[in-house]
């Protein structure tokens, strides 16, 4: 009887495993499709290009993708929710995204347990008709499963994952790598403040009535600037002036025999810049939020402007392990970044490691000229190692002078700071005692130890680069007010007492 019941269970499991509405198996030159549900579901195949469209509103469409192909793609469009299961899939696209998800509702992409899956994009030339990311999605995207998913973008202008709405990651082992170049740098344009505010400059918060003092009529009364009204001969004259000015720019590197790179804390090529790039090859980018609940996420980008993880409406790291290495911001958001229990290593070689740009922050275009009262970086638990190796003014944690909230967790940031004033908590927002170390010398691969008064090592951090003088934010769950602690590494040792919730040590 037990054997009979076991056999039934196995058969039921097998039936469940093959209950997908659409199964696509990729071969070298052709994709084979098995369609179990045909009503309201249309599937068209052109060699190794597969288009799936479902009109089901209440039914969750399920799709299974398997096989190996060096030039193929799947485009899925479903009125209702959808689930795409990857089982040993190795799919490369030589033009545009190998996986395009045009759903209005959430799509779940699942890596089947025990399987390794790889999606690769090698070119993004036809960006008008093909999406410039390995996974491109219109609606909400959930990435999950107990398998692994490798996202590889090698083409210029090709991103790893791009979503117009929220991205959620759970359980999955996700590896994202982008190696292509961006498609150029956006020209700097002065904003037309008059046009932005119909009432004129006087309506901008913090702007004195009538514009800046000493300006006839004030800027508030100036009409909006229209570049089309400039005569062509004037434009040519300005262009000649610009070329002459660039030709006379001093060679700062020549001013020092060793060049700019010899300045302590200065990266190769000089300061990191806030440039804007065309189709920068970001790792994971969303116009909504990015939430990581569990799993292991590794992101590697390699060209200017390529942030590792960018969530326009915030990044929330609840759990799992996140490891990001980027030449630009490793983790970036135009809203709050929350660390709630994940183990995070965020490292930038040319910008801030963690960069939150709150809408009401100090540098917001039309925000108040007063500091924001809302925290932009919130740390409640887990481990936050945020390292910027570029030197001043870039930071390990940067939030444009908006508050940093520290409620728990282990934190060790490294950066140059801005005039020794990096983004830090206050006595009110440091609910767990926190210290700012100014002048810490970092030696590559030399352990940095945090010890209590008895000599017990609370934490050891090893930084993969050197910095002669850094500004580092440090906290630990064992920190207590009134107690004495020591930070020590090769060539540096400093003992301090936490007399306040937030303490600065020089």
Residues 6 or more apart in contact with residue 130 via CB below 8 angstroms: 95, 96, 97, 124
Residues 6 or more apart in contact with residue 415 via CB below 8 angstroms: 352, 353, 386, 387, 388, 390, 394, 395, 396, 397, 398, 422, 470, 471, 472
* Residue 209 near residue 221 (C-beta atoms within 8 A): no
Q: Give the Å distances, CA to CA, from 153 to 58, 61, 94, 133, 309.
A: 34, 27, 11, 7, 15
CA distance 47 to 27: 9
How many CB atoms sit inside 10 A of residue 2's CB? 6
Kindly report the pTM of this predicted structure. Answer: 0.80
The percentage of the chain sitting over the pLDDT mark of 70, rounded to a whole number, equals 74
Instruction: Assess if residue 23 is contained within a domain.
Output: yes
The secondary structure of 315-356, three-state, reads EEECCCEEEEEECCCCEEECCCEEEEEEEEEEEECCCCCEEE
Q: Give the Å distances, CA to CA, from 335 to 181, 205, 402.
A: 27, 20, 11
**Mean pLDDT computed over 257-261:** 36
CA distance 456 to 458: 6
pLDDT tens digits, 403-450: 899 999 999 999 987 655 678 999 999 999 999 999 889 999 999 999
Residue 357 has pLDDT above 50, yes or no: yes
Query: Across the strands, what pairs with 98?
Result: none
Question: Residue 468's pLDDT band (boundaries 50, 70, 90)?
Answer: confident
Instruction: Assess if residue 349 is contained within a domain.
Output: no
Peptide bond into 393 cis (omega under 30): yes
Instruction: Out of 36-50, 230-244, 301-315, 373-387, pick the least confident.
Output: 230-244
pLDDT at residue 239, as a whole number? 53
Instruction: Assess if residue 441 is contained within a domain.
Output: no
- Provide the terminal-to-terminal Cα distance of the chain, rounded to the nearest Å: 76
**Mean pLDDT computed over 111-134:** 89
In the chain, how many domains are there?
1
DSSP label of 236 = H
Instruction: Assess if residue 322 is contained within a domain.
Output: yes
Q: Checking DSSP bridges between strand 354-356 and strand 397-398, what pairing results, if any?
A: parallel
Instruction: Assess if residue 191 is contained within a domain.
Output: no
Instruction: Assess if residue 152 is contained within a domain.
Output: yes
Instruction: Assess if residue 361 is contained within a domain.
Output: no
Q: Give the Å distances, CA to CA, from 245 to 230, 242, 275.
A: 21, 5, 20
Instruction: Assess if residue 493 is contained within a domain.
Output: no
Q: Give the number of C-alpha atoms closer than 13 A to the C-alpha of residue 54, restricted to the C-beta side.
A: 28
Range of the domain at 90: 18-183+274-328
CA distance 352 to 394: 5
CA distance 99 to 50: 10
Give the H or E element holding residue 14.
helix 2-17
């Amino acid at each position: 009887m037990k054997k009979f019941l076991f056999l039934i269970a196995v058969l039921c499991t097998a039936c469940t495993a093959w209950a997908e509405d659409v199964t696509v198996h990729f071969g070298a030159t052709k994709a084979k499709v098995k369609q179990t549900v045909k009503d309201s579901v249309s599937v068209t195949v052109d060699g190794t290009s597969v288009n799936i469209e479902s009109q089901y509103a209440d039914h969750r469409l399920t799709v299974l993708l398997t096989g190996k192909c060096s030039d193929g793609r799947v485009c899925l469009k479903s009125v209702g929710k959808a689930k795409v299961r990857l089982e040993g899939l190795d799919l490369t696209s030589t033009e545009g995204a190998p996986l395009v998800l045009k759903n209005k509702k959430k799509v779940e992409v699942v890596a089947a347990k025990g399987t390794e899956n790889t999606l690769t994009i090698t070119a993004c030339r036809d960006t008008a008709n093909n999406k410039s990311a390995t996974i491109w999605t219109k609606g909400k995207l959930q990435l999950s499963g107990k398998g692994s998913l490798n996202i590889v973008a090698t083409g210029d202008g090709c991103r790893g994952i791009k979503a117009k709405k929220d991205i959620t990651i759970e359980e999955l082992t996700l590896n994202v790598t982008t190696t292509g170049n961006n498609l150029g740098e956006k020209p700097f344009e002065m904003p037309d403040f008059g046009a932005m505010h119909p009432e004129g400059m006087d309506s901008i918060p913090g702007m004195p009535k009538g514009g800046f003092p000493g300006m006839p009529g004030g800027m508030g009364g100036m009409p909006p600037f229209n570049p089309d009204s400039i005569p062509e001969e004037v434009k040519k004259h300005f262009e000649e002036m610009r070329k002459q000015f660039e030709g006379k720019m001093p060679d700062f590197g020549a001013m020092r025999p060793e060049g700019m790179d010899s300045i302590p804390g200065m990266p190769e090529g000089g300061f990191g810049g806030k440039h804007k790039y065309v189709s920068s090859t970001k790792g994971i980018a969303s116009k909504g939020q990015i939430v990581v609940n569990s799993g292991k996420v590794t992101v590697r980008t390699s060209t200017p402007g390529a942030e590792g993880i960018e969530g326009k409406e915030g990044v929330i790291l609840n759990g799992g392990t996140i490891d990001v290495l980027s030449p630009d911001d490793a983790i970036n958001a135009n809203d709050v970044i929350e660390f709630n229990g994940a183990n995070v290593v965020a490292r930038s070689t040319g910008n801030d490691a963690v960069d939150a740009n709150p809408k009401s922050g100090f540098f917001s275009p039309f925000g108040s000229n007063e500091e924001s009262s809302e925290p932009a970086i919130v740390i409640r638990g887990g481990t936050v190692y945020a390292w910027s190796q570029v030197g001043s003014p870039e930071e390990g944690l940067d939030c444009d002078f908006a508050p940093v909230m520290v409620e728990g967790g282990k934190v060790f940031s490294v950066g140059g700071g801005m005039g020794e004033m990096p983004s830090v908590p206050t006595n009110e927002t440091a609910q767990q005692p926190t210290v700012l170390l100014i002048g810490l010398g970092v030696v590559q691969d030399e352990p940095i130890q945090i010890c209590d008064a008895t000599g017990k090592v609370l934490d050891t951090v090893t930084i993969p680069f050197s910095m002669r003088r850094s500004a580092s934010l440090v906290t630990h769950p064992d920190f207590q007010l009134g107690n004495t602690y020591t930070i020590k590494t090769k060539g540096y040792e400093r003992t301090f007492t936490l007399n306040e919730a937030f303490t600065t040590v020089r």
